């Protein structure tokens, strides 16, 4: 499986870019899965639901299934967060996995950047960032794309991973 990341600071446009890339790349006939890193506690379950009650009773894993989808939740409790490489092993084989976040990992990435956030560019210090997608002109050595030019960004990523 090919892996490519989208990184950037908060409100840089990562999630919107990910969403547009999934639509663009799957529209070309490729299979795509996504993996997103969250820097905070999150919950896909809600108090009062049966699966929530199972987890809070102490279950290590809860698998929730329906005709439309299934989801497996694993409680880490006091264990460390799993590394990206371990998480990737849980995904079914696809043509491309797009990873949002995990900016310190060693896979190729594109940085999303918005001028209004006024954050420093990660790309200036990180050789794994192969391109920047921005809403403004920037002085970078990597290829620079308009943040909204999804087709060009998809072309670049697919070329980079050999698809």
Full DSSP string of 110-141:
EEEE-GGG-PPPSTTT-TTEEEEEESS----S
Element (H, E) at 161: helix 150-161
> What is the percentage of the chain residues whose pLDDT exceeds 70?
97
Query: Where does residue 23 fall: left (phi above 0), alpha (psi -120 to 50 degrees), or beta otherwise?
Result: alpha
pLDDT of residue 41: 67
∠ Cα 75 80 85 (to 5°): 95
pTM: 0.89
Instruction: Check pLDDT > 80 for residue 42.
Output: no
Instruction: Check pLDDT > 70 for residue 77.
Output: yes
Provide the pLDDT confidence category of residue 40 given band limits of 50, 70 and 90.
low
* 34 within 8 A of 98, measured Cβ to Cβ: yes
* 25 within 8 A of 96, measured Cβ to Cβ: yes
Residue 61, number of CB atoms within 10 A of its CB: 10
pLDDT of residue 129: 98
């Amino acid at each position: 499986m090919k892996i490519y990341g989208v990184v950037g600071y908060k409100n840089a446009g990562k999630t919107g870019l990910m969403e547009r890339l999934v639509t663009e790349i799957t529209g070309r006939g490729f299979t795509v899965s996504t993996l997103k890193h969250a820097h905070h506690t999150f919950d896909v379950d809600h108090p009062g639901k049966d699966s929530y009650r199972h987890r809070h009773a102490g279950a290590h894993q809860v698998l929730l299934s329906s005709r439309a989808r299934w989801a497996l939740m694993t409680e880490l409790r006091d264990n460390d967060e799993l590394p990206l490489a371990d998480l990737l092993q849980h995904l079914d084989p696809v043509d491309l996995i797009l990873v949002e976040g995990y900016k310190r990992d060693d896979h190729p990435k594109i940085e999303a950047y918005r001028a209004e956030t006024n954050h420093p560019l990660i790309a200036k210090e990180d050789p794994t960032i192969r391109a920047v997608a921005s809403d403004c002109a920037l002085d970078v050595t990597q290829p620079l794309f308009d943040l909204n030019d999804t087709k060009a960004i998809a072309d670049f990523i697919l070329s980079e991973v050999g698809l």
